[in-house]
Chains A and B, each alone.
Chain A
């Protein structure tokens, strides 16, 4: 791999899910700025136009959508270096009021989506004996926030999956790590009342809302070539543990 000075991701092939808005869009632009080739995968179309950005439309929960994207990447680039499983949904409801259909949808997108993407991507990474898989959890897991039982459970499942998958693919030079962001002003929490968000922030050691750059910082750490001895780890933002 030809890493160029000041261009950490020169020629790296990065696949990011949920690239049309929020953190996914921010990370996409960040990787493009750092000379990576970015493949975006999302349910909707992307307005992003860039010579090194390739957009694929589909559903991470549907393997019939996922497999062709990885096959396309294999044919086009012959490899995949970094997968960022950013796509996810949230719904804040007391468990007793949580409709089954929404609970199922949360698990499907958050957990099954990560599983589908990780499995198919790892197949491509195995041959090159190199890969970085970065999954998204949430501080909702260690903070045990009321009203987030299903969301936090789906994220806890991602953490456990990541730890085991990390062991399974370690021999192929693939690392699997997890970032657990604190609340960040995105669509994900747009419908949550402000006072609830503030209460949550007040319980964190570093009492402020997270920012996209905070996520980018941890993603850079996990995605770095130098992080080949870091796998199966979870890093929460905001000092939460």
Chain B
């Protein structure tokens, strides 16, 4: 997995983040970056927004890399450090799956 692909994954997640927030008229930070929280902390999302994000990111990854992944699985749901914590941690997890 090249840096180029990680950049692409970040792009997919950031676009999805804005899409989900926009659809629900949720104000989101001007500077969305790797540290932006998806889950808990200062995340603007509730659990169903996160579900929507996960589904759209899976779709984005499938369309971009032609690889079908399932982000909500036994592994990710049981990890003490959730990969859904922030845009960066989710990108790291996806890079790991695709590598």
A and B pair up: yes
Q: Of B55, B62, B68, which one neighbours A126 at CB under 8 angstroms?
A: B55
With both beta carbons as reference points, the residue of chain A lying nearest to B68 in the complex is identified as A71
Q: Of B51, B56, B62, which one neighbours A127 at CB under 8 angstroms?
A: B56
B70 to A126, Cβ gap below 8 A?
A: no
Residues of A within 8 Å of B56, CB to CB, are 127
Q: Of A67, A74, A171, A172, which one neighbours B59 at CB under 8 angstroms?
A: A74
Interface positions of A from 48 to 106, Cβ below 8 Å from B: 67-68, 71, 74
- Residue B52 at the chain A interface, CB threshold 8 Å: yes
1/0 contact trace for B53-70 toward A, CB 8 Å? 001101100100000101
Contacts A71-B62, A71-B68 known; 10 new A-B pairs at CB < 8 A: A67-B68, A68-B68, A74-B62, A123-B55, A126-B51, A126-B55, A127-B56, A127-B59, A168-B48, A171-B48
Residues of A within 8 Å of B58, CB to CB, are 123
Distance in Å from the Cβ of B41 to the closest Cβ of chain A?
A: 23
The complex places the Cα of A67 from the Cα of B68 at a distance, in Å, of: 9
Residues of B within 8 Å of A172, CB to CB, are 52
The complex places the Cα of A67 from the Cα of B48 at a distance, in Å, of: 20
The complex places the Cα of A60 from the Cα of B62 at a distance, in Å, of: 23
Chain B contributes a number of interface residues (CB within 8 A of A) equal to 10
18 contacts between A and B (CB under 8 A): A67-B68, A67-B70, A68-B68, A71-B62, A71-B68, A74-B59, A74-B62, A123-B55, A123-B58, A126-B51, A126-B52, A126-B55, A127-B55, A127-B56, A127-B59, A168-B48, A171-B48, A172-B52
The complex places the Cα of A80 from the Cα of B10 at a distance, in Å, of: 28
Chain A contributes a number of interface residues (CB within 8 A of B) equal to 10
With both beta carbons as reference points, the residue of chain A lying nearest to B49 in the complex is identified as A171
The complex places the Cα of A168 from the Cα of B48 at a distance, in Å, of: 7
Q: Interface SS of chain A: helix, strand, loop or mixed?
A: helix
Residues of B within 8 Å of A171, CB to CB, are 48
Distance in Å from the Cβ of B68 to the closest Cβ of chain A?
A: 5
Distance in Å from the Cβ of A184 to the closest Cβ of chain B?
A: 36
Distance in Å from the Cβ of B49 to the closest Cβ of chain A?
A: 9
Distance in Å from the Cβ of A117 to the closest Cβ of chain B?
A: 15
With both beta carbons as reference points, the residue of chain B lying nearest to A124 in the complex is identified as B55
Residues of B within 8 Å of A127, CB to CB, are 55-56, 59
Residues of A within 8 Å of B59, CB to CB, are 74, 127
Distance in Å from the Cβ of B23 to the closest Cβ of chain A?
A: 9
With both beta carbons as reference points, the residue of chain B lying nearest to A74 in the complex is identified as B59
Interface positions of A from 155 to 185, Cβ below 8 Å from B: 168, 171-172
Residues of A within 8 Å of B52, CB to CB, are 126, 172
Distance in Å from the Cβ of A162 to the closest Cβ of chain B?
A: 17
Residues of A within 8 Å of B70, CB to CB, are 67
The complex places the Cα of A67 from the Cα of B59 at a distance, in Å, of: 13
With both beta carbons as reference points, the residue of chain A lying nearest to B23 in the complex is identified as A129
With both beta carbons as reference points, the residue of chain B lying nearest to A167 in the complex is identified as B48
1/0 contact trace for B80-93 toward A, CB 8 Å? 00000000000000
